[in-house]
Structure 1
Amino acid sequence: MARFDLSEPELASYRPEVAEPDDFDAFWGETLASSRAVDAAIRRVPVDSGLTLVDVDDVVFPGYAGDPISAWLVLPRGADGPLPAVVEFVGYGRGRGLPFERLHWPAAGFAQLIVDTRGQGATWGTGGSTPDPHGAGPAASGYLTRGIEDPAAHYYRRVFADAARAVDAVRTMPEIDPARVAVTGNSQGGAIAIAAAGLSDGLVGALPTAPILSHVRRTVGLTDADPHAEIARYLSVHRGADEQVFRTLSYLDGVNFARRATAPALFGAGLMDTIAPPSGVYAAANHWRGGADVIAYAWNGHEGGEGVHWQRQLAWLRARLDAAGPAAGGRNFRTTITP
């Protein structure tokens, strides 16, 4: 398709004003405090993945409200620890899949925690294992309008809290250096990584690519591609609900998390991306508190730089590992490993 968004020079300096609720910090502080107050153990069960160069554990950790969230922990076999770790969040509609599907970080010497997305895993890919036990009011198809009437009931409140708890969880694992943890993801995974970075202190880096849910007020209506089009469809039926809908989404907007993210970041953006329009990506990057670089792919859409971009992520992250601070303690977890 043809380019439809701002030009590259305009994107480089694009730092729009984005609505931020007065109680944003209190809202997320209470959300995380109540979730972290749940006394629940991390469960780890080694699995026979058929792979000989990595070890795989099936992990369940407590997320929002203590709900059990599944993940794969993949470790390079025989590596000396403690290891740097990458927490990866997955794309819209898919689940954590199978542990051998994403081995690039362990092959490069990192521990990797691949986190399931609650209630997803049945749209594409190879499945997920995490239900979402919480209900919501009327919604359009998909996930963006689930609980849209109230930020406290919104689906992504739970998902973003799960993400912060995934960072908490990986930092307690004996194989991991808690001062050298990064977050990453593409599309929905990029939005979740941004939220995790805004809600977690002491990360060594954040690597969001083509994130949805940034500068939502502009993105909805700029593109007719899902998932942002779900919001437009909802508003086409719930006429006059704009104010409430966009107020709820302001608690979830990547720009507002970017303003609080202290770790450095490397973004990836396709300048012909209709799913995560580049102006939304740059809005988050240019507001990033810890400083962010963007690698733009001029002739790509939502696929972005693919393997080429991962090579650049790897080089960028390795360059920052030596600057990681002292180890930090974990948060109220008991880990049980089942032989």
Structure 2
Amino acid sequence: MPLFDLPLDQLRSYRPESGEPDDFDAFWRRTLEEASAHPLDAEFTAYDAALSNVDAHDVSFAGWGGHRIRAWLNVPAGAEGPLPTVVHYLGYGGGRGLPHDHLVWPAAGWATLLVDTRGQGAVNNNSPGSTPDPHGGGNPQSPGFMTRGILDPDEYYYRRVFTDAVRAVEVARTHPAVDPDRIVVHGGSQGGGIAQAVAGLSPHVKAALIDVPFLTHYRRAVEITDRDPYQEIVRFLSAQHGVCEQVFRTLSYFDGISFAARATVPALYSVALMDTVCPPSTVFAAYNHWAGPKEIEVYPWNNHEGGGSAHRGAQLRMLRDLG
């Protein structure tokens, strides 16, 4: 794939207006207050993962609407806590898999809460999910998750997902192995978009690791890439005429640019200049709005895989330095 977006020197200064609605903060304050009416009711059950150096726990808790959300908590065996902890969110379509799939952060001495994404994880045998989404959203939709409830911000799918993700941070803080003041959120693609949102919404995040984030600068994304998942929105609009402004109004409550502008903790981003799934201008749009200390690793020759293992090394060094 050749370079298709803005040149790097322009990307570094690309800072479009967010276009957020006037009631953005009120919307999210109301959403999280509604969620808080449901006790977290977190359950941590020891799980035999046959791992000598990691203690695994099968986790469930009450997310948006009181719906049960599943997760894994992996803790370095024998570690004297409380430990710094990574709360990890998943890429599009993936599920939580099994504890042995998530060992990098425990190997570095960090506990890890790996959070399932409601409704996802049914198409990949390597990362099955176990969290349904009981709330469907009423409008017609393009296959996938991007257009579920897209005509109404209150009904939109990612309202539930982002709320679950904020609640996951609160759940992590309740476990005795976790240091509640040293929680880092992490994810790539969809997971990066979720981590970006949580960093802007939760007061309990110490830092963020955000890789090639999805769910950011929607209008530009759908106009310059022909790749899914953004193309789900295009297909929806091609069939549902006359609802374009309604759709983008809904999406304005969920745009990573607005969450980044509210995030004040240190962040390490990654971007790939040949990324046709999450175009680099959409990543830089959020990064350039990030309100806290920040760095971005640029991978000029990569597509949506970003920096891969090389970038994981950069993240591990950042965590080591955070302590």
Q: TM-score, normalised by structure 1?
A: 0.93
- Contact map agreement 1:255 1:287 (CA 8 A) in 2: yes
- Give the distance between the partners of 2:228 and 2:40, measured in 1 at CA: 36
The offset of 1:39, in angstroms, is 2.4
The offset of 1:317, in angstroms, is 2.3
In the other structure, the counterpart of 2:187 is 185
- Give the distance between the partners of 1:148 and 1:291, measured in 2 at CA: 33
- Contact map agreement 2:269 2:295 (CA 8 A) in 1: yes
- Give the distance between the partners of 1:118 and 1:199, measured in 2 at CA: 19
1:240-297 Cα distance to aligned partner (Å, 9 max, x none): 2110000000001000111111211110111100001010111111101113211010
In the other structure, the counterpart of 1:26 is 26
In the other structure, the counterpart of 1:54 is 54
In the other structure, the counterpart of 1:114 is 114
Structure 2: which amino acid aligns with 1:206? Answer: A
In the other structure, the counterpart of 1:215 is 217
- Give the distance between the partners of 1:197 and 1:18, measured in 2 at CA: 17
- Give the distance between the partners of 1:204 and 1:315, measured in 2 at CA: 16
In the other structure, the counterpart of 2:102 is 102
SS in structure 2 at match of 1:4: coil
Structure 1: which amino acid aligns with 2:57? Answer: D
- Give the distance between the partners of 1:117 and 1:40, measured in 2 at CA: 17
Is 1:11 the equivalent of 2:11?
A: yes
In the other structure, the counterpart of 1:271 is 273
Alignment of 1:306-321 (within 5 A): 306-321=308-323
- Give the distance between the partners of 2:35 and 2:18, measured in 1 at CA: 28
- Contact map agreement 2:57 2:74 (CA 8 A) in 1: yes
- Contact map agreement 1:206 1:263 (CA 8 A) in 2: yes
- Contact map agreement 2:169 2:204 (CA 8 A) in 1: no
Structure 2: which amino acid aligns with 1:15? Answer: R
Alignment of 1:245-324 (within 5 A): 245-321=247-323
Is 1:144 the equivalent of 2:163?
A: no
Structure 2: which amino acid aligns with 1:93? Answer: G
- Give the distance between the partners of 2:285 and 2:197, measured in 1 at CA: 14
The offset of 1:109, in angstroms, is 0.1
- Contact map agreement 2:40 2:167 (CA 8 A) in 1: no
- Contact map agreement 2:186 2:210 (CA 8 A) in 1: yes
In the other structure, the counterpart of 1:82 is 82
- Contact map agreement 2:40 2:63 (CA 8 A) in 1: no
Structure 1: which amino acid aligns with 2:24? Answer: F
SS in structure 1 at match of 2:186: strand
In the other structure, the counterpart of 2:234 is 232
- Contact map agreement 1:58 1:73 (CA 8 A) in 2: yes
- Give the distance between the partners of 1:301 and 1:121, measured in 2 at CA: 23
SS in structure 2 at match of 1:179: strand
In the other structure, the counterpart of 1:63 is 63
SS in structure 1 at match of 2:93: coil
- Give the distance between the partners of 1:217 and 1:302, measured in 2 at CA: 19
In the other structure, the counterpart of 1:72 is 72
Structure 2: which amino acid aligns with 1:135? Answer: G
Alignment of 1:189-204 (within 5 A): 189-204=191-206
Higher relative contact order (CA 8 A, sep 6+): 1
- Give the distance between the partners of 1:14 and 1:216, measured in 2 at CA: 15
- Contact map agreement 1:220 1:231 (CA 8 A) in 2: yes
SS in structure 2 at match of 1:41: coil
- Give the distance between the partners of 2:79 and 2:293, measured in 1 at CA: 32
Displaced runs of 4 or more, over 2 A:
none
Is 1:126 the equivalent of 2:97?
A: no
User: Where does the alignment leave 5 or more consecutive residues of structure 1 unmatched?
Assistant: 322-339
Aligned length: 321
- Contact map agreement 1:202 1:262 (CA 8 A) in 2: no
Identity %: 55
The offset of 1:40, in angstroms, is 4.2
SS in structure 1 at match of 2:42: strand
- Contact map agreement 1:221 1:229 (CA 8 A) in 2: no
- Give the distance between the partners of 2:267 and 2:319, measured in 1 at CA: 9
Q: TM-score, normalised by structure 2?
A: 0.98
